[in-house]
């Protein structure tokens, strides 16, 4: 396993540009408004603390209760690294976004293009869609006889993942024959769903997603830890980072608990200021898929049409991602001059793992030559400051989360931080942050379309027939 001497520093949340004393009173949040939420915030923190480890808050204990499982993951990961040329995750949503994000954050950004000696492990692919061209192209570049497939599904029933399983297992049976099962690792619930039954039948190596951990909260289980370990990530450091964050989030005082402050500010932003969009904008390619991972967490957890007491609401904040600096040349115009409906969350890196100096030259052009001798590190930092200033001068709200360095320890902190912010925000909005009925409804409808004969799909098929026939005049 790759062992770094990590910078083990806390990540920092800077909300100055959310506040009225800095960005002005029209949209900025007054500290008094936060103080007015003190009781609600303390109650949210207390509810989450009281229920930790139980119900759907099982994920809160993951930094502490996985010693045995981590040892097994490391052992299996080592054997995968020695035996295979490629490691393919088959999963979707919470069973894919975390592995993608962690790989991008912690490993070489052109991992699959590196020579094997430099990688020290297999090429890495995550197939989180059922686009037939994508599957066909994967099969063009891997040799299934030299590939390990990690099928990840909490429910063990997701059509996308199980279709992929069917395709791959058939190929393995043909190409490998006896012993094809050794190419599959199942990560799933310990008793529910079809995958675990298949795993029992076929004798697959199996890892469990513990009870009380929903898909989007599962990155710190074998869902995320096994793929990370296969690619050489120090998964113990990830868990240590998560534990360090947990210790910072014990206070019910909103000004002492960064996740609580963040949840309150986003609550005020969405409920009082109609900031219906949160743009997560990392200024680092390494963090760009962390934004995707966060988007699922925030969207599925808080986008609800009913409170826990059954009152109708349509709440939530649309998370979206932008990449600094790339999207300065695409989205920033909208953020600075478009509707006042967005909060921008910058993810900033203190020290990049590489430094690139801009070469000398173009003396004849002063506004090019001034770049010579500076580093890309200075440039990206200056551009982040420039964007923050542009938003500030347009009266827009932004906030910055800084990772001193992107490493397993700081990433573990960030994952845990966002998960707790989401749990607190669910409390403040009084919604069930851990279900996803809207996703289930789409699943039912698509299986009905495919002709699944089970009763619930047939009922959905009948319901779908009640929709008005499309009118020709609307199809051009």
* Sheet with 184-188, side-by-side order of all strands: 123-127, 86-90, 147-153, 184-188, 205-208
The answer to whether 315 and 431 are in contact (CB under 8 A) is yes
Q: Which two tokens stand for residue 417?
A: 């931080």
Q: Where are the alpha helices (DSSP H) in 308-402?
A: 332-337, 366-369, 376-393
Catalytic residue among 72, 108, 192, 443: 443
Catalytic residue among 300, 388, 419, 427: 300
The answer to whether 334 and 389 are in contact (CB under 8 A) is no
Q: Distance (Å, rounded) from C-alpha 313 to C-alpha 299? A: 15
Closest approach of Cβ 169 to ligand PA5, in Å? 17
Complex with ligand PA5: residue 37 or 152, whichever CB lies closer = 152
Closest approach of Cβ 297 to ligand PA5, in Å? 8
Closest approach of Cβ 435 to ligand PA5, in Å? 9
**Active site annotation includes 61:** no
The answer to whether 349 and 403 are in contact (CB under 8 A) is yes
Complex with ligand PA5: residue 129 or 330, whichever CB lies closer = 129
**Active site annotation includes 262:** no
Which of 405, 297, 301, 391 is closest to 346 using CA atoms?
A: 391
The answer to whether 395 and 23 are in contact (CB under 8 A) is yes
Q: Distance (Å, rounded) from C-alpha 263 to C-alpha 41? A: 8
Closest approach of Cβ 395 to ligand PA5, in Å? 35
**Active site annotation includes 329:** yes
Backbone phi and psi for residue 341, each to the nearest 5 degrees, phi listed first: -135, 15
Q: Where are the alpha helices (DSSP H) in 179-325?
A: 194-202, 222-230, 235-248, 258-271, 288-302
Preceding amide of 325 cis, omega within 30:
yes
Residues of this chain that bind ligand PA5 (CB under 6 A): 92-95, 153-155, 158, 161, 214-216, 300, 436, 439
Question: Taking CB positions, which residue lies at the least distance from ligand PA5?
Answer: 215
Closest approach of Cβ 361 to ligand PA5, in Å? 49
Count, in order, helices (H) and strands (E) of the chain. Answer: 19, 12
- Apex 213 CA angle, 309 and 260, nearest 5: 60
Complex with ligand PA5: residue 28 or 93, whichever CB lies closer = 93
Closest approach of Cβ 100 to ligand PA5, in Å? 13
CB hemisphere CA count around 381 (13 angstroms) = 12
Complex with ligand PA5: residue 223 or 429, whichever CB lies closer = 223
Complex with ligand PA5: residue 205 or 300, whichever CB lies closer = 300
Closest approach of Cβ 301 to ligand PA5, in Å? 8
* Sheet with 318-321, side-by-side order of all strands: 12-14, 397-403, 342-349, 277-282, 318-321
Complex with ligand PA5: residue 153 or 286, whichever CB lies closer = 153
SS3 content of the chain, % helix, strand, coil (to 5): 55, 15, 35
CB hemisphere CA count around 88 (13 angstroms) = 26
Closest approach of Cβ 458 to ligand PA5, in Å? 22
Q: Please, which residues bridge with residue 450 across strands? A: none
Catalytic residue among 118, 329, 465, 473: 329
Complex with ligand PA5: residue 160 or 262, whichever CB lies closer = 160
Complex with ligand PA5: residue 303 or 386, whichever CB lies closer = 303
Q: Which residues, at least 6 apart from 403, have a Cβ–Cβ distance to it below 8 Å?
A: 11, 287, 347, 348, 349, 350, 410, 411, 413, 414
Q: Which residues have a catalytic role annotated?
A: 300, 329, 443
């Amino acid at each position: 396993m790759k062992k770094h001497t990590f910078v083990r520093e806390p990540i920092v949340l800077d909300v100055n540009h959310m506040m009225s004393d800095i960005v002005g009173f029209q949209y900025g949040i007054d500290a008094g408004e936060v103080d007015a939420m003190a009781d609600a915030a303390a109650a949210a923190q207390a509810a989450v603390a009281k229920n930790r480890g139980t119900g759907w808050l099982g994920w809160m204990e993951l930094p502490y209760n996985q010693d045995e499982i981590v040892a097994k993951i490391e052992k299996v990961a080592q054997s995968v690294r020695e035996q295979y040329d490629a490691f393919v995750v088959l999963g979707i949503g919470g069973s894919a976004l975390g592995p993608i994000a962690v790989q991008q954050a912690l490993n070489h950004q052109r991992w699959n293009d590196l020579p094997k000696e430099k990688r020290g492990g297999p090429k890495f692919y995550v197939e989180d869609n059922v686009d037939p061209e994508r599957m066909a192209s994967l099969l063009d570049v891997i040799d299934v006889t030299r590939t390990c497939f990690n099928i990840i599904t909490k429910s063990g029933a997701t059509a996308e993942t199980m279709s992929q399983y069917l395709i791959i297992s058939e190929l393995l049976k043909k190409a490998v024959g006896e012993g094809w099962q050794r190419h599959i690792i199942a990560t799933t619930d310990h008793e529910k769903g079809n995958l675990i039954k298949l795993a029992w039948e076929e004798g697959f190596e199996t890892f469990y997603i513990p009870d009380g951990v929903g898909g989007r909260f599962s990155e710190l289980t074998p869902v995320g830890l096994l793929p990370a370990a296969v690619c050489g990530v120090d998964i113990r450091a990830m868990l240590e980072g998560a534990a360090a964050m947990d210790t910072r989030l014990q206070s019910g005082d909103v000004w002492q608990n960064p996740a609580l402050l963040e949840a309150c500010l986003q609550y005020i932003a969405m409920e009082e200021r109609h900031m219906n969009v949160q743009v997560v904008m990392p200024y680092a390619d390494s963090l760009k898929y962390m934004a995707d991972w966060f988007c699922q967490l925030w969207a599925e957890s808080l986008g609800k049409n009913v409170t826990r007491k059954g009152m109708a609401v349509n709440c939530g904040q649309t998370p979206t991602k932008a990449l600094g600096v790339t999207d300065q040349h695409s989205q920033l115009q909208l953020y600075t001059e478009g509707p006042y409906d967005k909060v921008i969350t910058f993810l900033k890196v203190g020290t990049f793992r590489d430094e690139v100096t801009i070469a000398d030259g173009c003396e004849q052009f002063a506004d090019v030559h001034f770049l010579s001798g500076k580093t890309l590190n200075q440039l990206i930092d200056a551009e982040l400051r420039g964007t923050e200033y542009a938003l500030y001068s347009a009266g827009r709200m932004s906030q910055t989360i800084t990772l001193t360095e992107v490493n397993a320890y700081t990433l573990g902190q960030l994952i845990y931080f966002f998960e707790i912010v989401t749990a607190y925000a669910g409390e403040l909005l009084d919604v069930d942050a851990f279900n996803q009925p809207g996703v289930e409804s789409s699943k039912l409808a698509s299986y009905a379309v495919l002709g699944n004969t089970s009763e619930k799909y047939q009922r959905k098929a009948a319901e779908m027939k009640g929709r008005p026939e499309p009118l020709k005049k609307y199809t051009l």
